[in-house]
Amino acid sequence: MKRSFIKSLSVTQRLTFSFAIVILIGTLLLSMPFTHYQNGPETVYLDHFFNVVSMVCVTGLSVVPVAEVYNGIGQTITMMLMQIGGLGLVTLIAMSTFALKRKMRLSDQTLLQSALNRGDSKDLKHYLFFAYKVTFGLEAIAALVIMTDFIPRFGWKNGIFNSIFLAISAFCNAGFDNLGNSSLKDFVLNPTLNLIVTFLIISGGLGFAVWVDLGLAVKKFFFERPHCYGATFRKLSNQSRLVIQTTTVILVLGTFLSWFLEKDNSKTIANYNQFQQFMVSFFQTVTMRTAGFATISYNDTLAPTNILYMIQMVIGGAPGGTAGGIKVTTAAITFLLFKAELSGQSEVTFRNRIIANKTIKQTMTVLIFFFAVLMTGYILLLSVEPNIAPIPLLFESISAIATVGVSMDLTPQLSTAGRLIIIVLMFVGRVGPITVLISLIQRKEKTIQYATTDILVG
């Protein structure tokens, strides 16, 4: 009965179902008293449900601090939920199947292909193994680096544990920490933490497809003769090039604009030297790409800066990784479409290649879907939270659906209805864009062609 029910579900439904199952199990575990500190603050089931949705959807919004509520067992479960949320339950099951050397059914291959945002099923096993090597390898190296700061600060036991927790949270773009209730504000001028956390956020946000591509390029460079840097990296796929180029532009431009807008703000970075100002500005730009850590208060940042941050949250990271948002590829294709229309080009191109109309339609669908859900959630929040200012609510709404996790210290103030709306936004933000794309890829093309017509716009 159970098996036939799962078989009857579509690929998109099974992906959604996998996230829901993890959330329900995680909520059950973290609501148990044995995962809590005995003298911790009082909590209710909805508090744990909210936090678990945020963990599995790798968001970072929280109504109760992890460090104050959950003990070592609870924090270990939190790490597992963030890791599952970042990698996906489907990929974990597939990894177990491959590790046990069992044959994967065709339907399961399709599900895995969809979960990984892969356009084809070629070399799925090697792709998955490489993705896991990158994930656990980078998390392990980063944790060791963080330990050099945390062990002298917290002692051996807590220093090691906290380092592993932060490394997993940063790579998965989850935004949770177990250091207190002020995120990373105490480490605003700590170069080690700033460098390693931003490195992990960017790494997780690039997407596994880019890492696989980069891995092959590096392998060819070192093991093929003659060595030619330019020729090797010119072989990167257009997908990887678009992701890397767009990410670089967003990080450089975002850092400069954040610094320029805040450099005279005494509540944020005005009292720091120039290096520190750029370091803090760079961290905010990186964390807005769906990580959710904060080293400054967003109640103190200026209105133009917060608008910039909201734009960055919407864009997010790359597809097939741990980031959320509309994805950098969607933003890049939208820009290329705009550029092509202004220049009178009949086709949208990138590096002398035409971007398929199917891809452009998918881009528009993702944009419409994202903003439709965002505005619906925002309007509902305005109606159920009349005592909260509109801008902080918009900031919170975008942070939720883009699975970022930054907040203007608003989350604990939300009513039950407000929290439920944020829960839906987080879940849709993590699962929705994936399911929309998959449903588009799997749809059947109609063979009927109709006559064209012109309609005036603008």
Q: Which CATH number covers residue 371?
A: 1.10.287
pLDDT for 450: 80
Q: Please give the C-alpha separations between residue 353 and each of 242, 321, 337, 344, in angstroms, as whole numbers.
A: 12, 24, 13, 17
Do 298 and 389 share a structural domain? no
Tell me whether residue 1 is in a domain. Answer: no
The contacts of residue 443 (CB under 8 Å, 6+ apart) are none
Mapped onto helix, strand or coil, the DSSP state of residue 409 is: coil
| Torsional class of 263: left (φ above 0), alpha (ψ -120 to 50), beta (otherwise) | alpha
Find tokens 């399911």 and name the residue.
435
Do 78 and 213 share a structural domain? yes
pLDDT for 143: 97
Q: Which of 290, 315, 340 lies at the terminal end of a domain, its last residue?
A: 315
Instruction: Please write the tens of the pLDDT for every residue from 142-161.
Output: 999 999 999 999 999 999 99
Tell me whether residue 446 is in a domain. Answer: no
Helix and strand totals (H; E) in the chain? 19, 2
* Amino acid in the structure at residue 436: V
pLDDT for 117: 53
Do 380 and 244 share a structural domain? no
Do 252 and 392 share a structural domain? no
Q: Which of 261, 294, 315 lies at the terminal end of a domain, its last residue?
A: 315
Q: Please give the C-alpha separations between residue 316 and each of 19, 69, 356, 428, in angstroms, as whole numbers.
A: 20, 30, 23, 15
Number of domains in the chain: 2
Radius of gyration of the chain (CA): 22
Do 425 and 293 share a structural domain? no
Q: Do 271 and 236 form a contact (C-beta atoms < 8 A)? A: no
Do 262 and 370 share a structural domain? no
pLDDT for 233: 66
pLDDT for 7: 59
Q: Give which of 200, 210, 202 is closest to 127, Cα–Cα.
A: 210
* Amino acid in the structure at residue 73: I
Q: For residues 405 and 424, what is the distance between their CA atoms, to the nearest angstrom? A: 14
CB atoms within 10 A of CB 388: 18
Do 380 and 253 share a structural domain? no
Tell me whether residue 75 is in a domain. Answer: yes
Report which DSSP code applies to 183: T
Range of the domain at 54: 8-315
- Determine how β-strand 353-354 pairs with β-strand 349-350: antiparallel
Please give the structure tokens belonging to residue 41: 């603050």
Do 153 and 34 share a structural domain? yes
Do 88 and 223 share a structural domain? yes
* Amino acid in the structure at residue 270: A
Do 109 and 49 share a structural domain? yes
Q: Which of 269, 292, 315 lies at the terminal end of a domain, its last residue?
A: 315
Please give the structure tokens belonging to residue 330: 């969607």
Q: Where are the alpha helices (DSSP H) in 88-123?
A: 89-99, 106-115
Q: Do 184 and 67 form a contact (C-beta atoms < 8 A)? A: no
Please give the structure tokens belonging to residue 347: 């086709």
Tell me whether residue 130 is in a domain. Answer: yes
Mean pLDDT over each residue of the chain, to the nearest integer: 86
Q: For residues 141 and 383, what is the distance between their CA atoms, to the nearest angstrom? A: 46
Do 16 and 94 share a structural domain? yes
* Whole-prediction pTM: 0.90
pLDDT for 100: 44
Q: For residues 198 and 214, what is the distance between their CA atoms, to the nearest angstrom? A: 19
Do 221 and 366 share a structural domain? no
Find tokens 């001028």 and name the residue.
189
pLDDT for 99: 52
Q: Give the residues of the chain that fall short of pLDDT 50.
A: 1, 100
Q: Please give the C-alpha separations between residue 340 and each of 68, 333, 350, 351, 368, in angstroms, as whole numbers.
A: 53, 10, 10, 13, 20
Dihedral of CA atoms 160, 166, 171, 173 in degrees, nearest 10, equals 170
Total residues belonging to the chain: 458
